[in-house]
Homo-oligomer: A and B are copies of this chain.
Amino acid sequence: MIWLNQIREIARPTSSKIVLLVIDGLGGLPHPERGKTELESAKTPSLDRLAGEGVCGMIDPVGPGITPGSAPGHLALFGYDPFEFTVGRGVLEALGINFDLKEGDVAARGNFCTVDGSGVLSDRRAGRISTERCSELCQLLDGASIEGVRILVSPVKEHRFVVVFRGDGLSSELSDSDPQREGVPPKNVIPLSAEAAKAAHIANEFIAKARATLADRSPANMVLLRGFAHYPDLAKMREVFSLKPAAIAAYPMYRGLAKVVGMDVLPTGATIEDEIVTLAEHYQSYDFFFLHVKEADIAGEDGDFARKVSVIEQVDLALPRLIDLDPEVIIVTADHSTPAVLKGHSWHPVPFLLRSKWCRPDGVAEFSERACISGALGRFPATQVMPLALANALKLKKFGA
């Protein structure tokens, strides 16, 4: 919090606009035969133009060697140290289904599962019941109240659901009931601190109640809970950065993460073109816009090099309309790398470009992993992106006398 508090003291509201475009999983690795990364393979005249007019570098989303999950990767870009501010699995799962979490809520990821007559776990996923069946079962469990705590149960997909405990004085310092293997009974939820005794009691009561309700619903005759997490109580971007921030993202989880840091989450269509239309429509009402493109990450996770190249080219094609709005600061970067050859998130630094009237351009004239190495910004932690953005929008006062 020290860093954020220092920025808070010097941030000032202005009318200048910042657009932070996050191409999820943008960073890549060379194609094994052709030797170029996804970004290096893509035709990107607009990104190259921005790189040429702007200043480039490489960011470490969380730290050197660290492969970030989606939450830490984004929190860092928003200026929040991901080691200090964590978003647990339960909360992320709830954000992912657009669940309207409130401060104080404790969320957990749930599985419907199968136990045998003696209570031993025989299938951790209840035979992967259909999403429809999951919805019906969630309705049976949803809305219960245990000792003043309301319990909200929502389906995710197949056997997966989210449970939210809403009430006073609930800690999320709870062990999982999911033993992560079959042939043993589900575990009791154990409080991991003295303050968590009440929450553990409520969670175990809920599980007992669910077992009774589901008794004749085999294979989905029991539940497993894991990843208990508090809705994080973060200082909001509005206060810390004196910004009016808006998020333009199609995927629920990223909309949820933006809400966590206090952005207004705008309704938008699914494509980058839709997102830029939304940006244009709300351009006068905010001064910070987070635009999120998910598809590059999905292509990377699928190991589909060509599709990732094509997603990047689509974004590039749409960019002129964003550039035409002439925001004072345009940033293009990512929350982490997702190299198609690794089929998953990775630890590799992420290319970064910032264009503003007041940046000090370097010699980089191409937006790529290799070119950004020589950028004037060097290699730097993603938590420094927000101060850099604010500075280039002339939104930071002088520090010290």
- Residues of B near A375 (CB, < 8 A) are 373
Interface residues of A, count at CB 8 A:
62
User: If the complex has contacts A72-B399, A380-B379, are A360 and B30 also in contact, measured as CB distance less than 8 A?
Assistant: yes
Question: Which one, B88, B344, B360, B387, contacts A64 given CB within 8 A?
Answer: B387
CA distance A390 to B63 in the complex (A): 13
Q: Mark A313-353, 1 if CB is under 8 A from B, else 0.
A: 00000000000000000000000000000101111110000
Residue in A37, A71, A384, A391 whose Cβ sees the most chain B Cβ within 10 Å: A391
Cβ distance A106 to chain B, nearest Cβ, rounded Å: 15
CA distance A349 to B359 in the complex (A): 11
Instruction: Determine if B69 and A400 form an interchain contact, defined as CB atoms under 8 angstroms apart.
Output: yes
Cβ distance A1 to chain B, nearest Cβ, rounded Å: 13
CA distance A347 to B370 in the complex (A): 26
- Residues of B near A25 (CB, < 8 A) are none
CA distance A72 to B67 in the complex (A): 27
- Residues of B near A245 (CB, < 8 A) are none
Instruction: Determine if B391 and A67 form an interchain contact, defined as CB atoms under 8 angstroms apart.
Output: yes
Indicate whether A13 reaches chain B with its CB closer than 8 angstroms: no
With CB as the reference atom, state the residue of chain B lying closest to A37. Answer: B360
Cβ distance A185 to chain B, nearest Cβ, rounded Å: 26
Question: Which one, B69, B374, B390, B392, contacts A399 given CB within 8 A?
Answer: B69
CA distance A157 to B354 in the complex (A): 42
Q: Which residues 359-401 of A have a CB within 8 angstroms of B?
A: 360-363, 369-370, 373-380, 384, 386-392, 396-401
Cβ distance A386 to chain B, nearest Cβ, rounded Å: 8
List the one stretch of A79-87, A115-123, A280-288 in contact with chain B. Answer: A79-87
Q: Mark A220-257, 1 if CB is under 8 A from B, else 0.
A: 00000001000000000000000000000000000000
Instruction: Determine if B87 and A401 form an interchain contact, defined as CB atoms under 8 angstroms apart.
Output: yes
Instruction: State the copy count for this chain.
Output: 2
Residue in A2, A347, A360, A375 whose Cβ sees the most chain B Cβ within 10 Å: A360
Instruction: Determine if A65 and B349 form an interchain contact, defined as CB atoms under 8 angstroms apart.
Output: no
Indicate whether A6 reaches chain B with its CB closer than 8 angstroms: yes
Question: Which one, B82, B374, B397, B400, contacts A400 given CB within 8 A?
Answer: B82
Question: Which one, B10, B346, B374, B398, contacts A373 given CB within 8 A?
Answer: B374
Instruction: Determine if B384 and A63 form an interchain contact, defined as CB atoms under 8 angstroms apart.
Output: yes
Indicate whether A92 reaches chain B with its CB closer than 8 angstroms: yes
- Residues of B near A71 (CB, < 8 A) are 400-401
CA distance A370 to B58 in the complex (A): 17
Q: With A64-B391, A65-B388, A67-B391 given, can you name 19 additional A-B contacts, CB distance below 8 Å?
A: A29-B358, A63-B387, A64-B384, A64-B388, A65-B390, A65-B391, A66-B387, A69-B399, A71-B401, A82-B399, A82-B400, A87-B400, A87-B401, A88-B401, A89-B401, A227-B401, A344-B398, A347-B391, A348-B360
Q: List 13 A-B contacts (CB under 8 A).
A: A6-B83, A58-B376, A62-B400, A63-B387, A64-B388, A66-B396, A66-B399, A68-B400, A82-B399, A345-B398, A360-B369, A363-B370, A373-B378
Task: Name the 6 nearest CB pairs between A and B, nearest first.
Answer: A65-B387, A378-B379, A65-B391, A69-B400, A72-B400, A347-B391
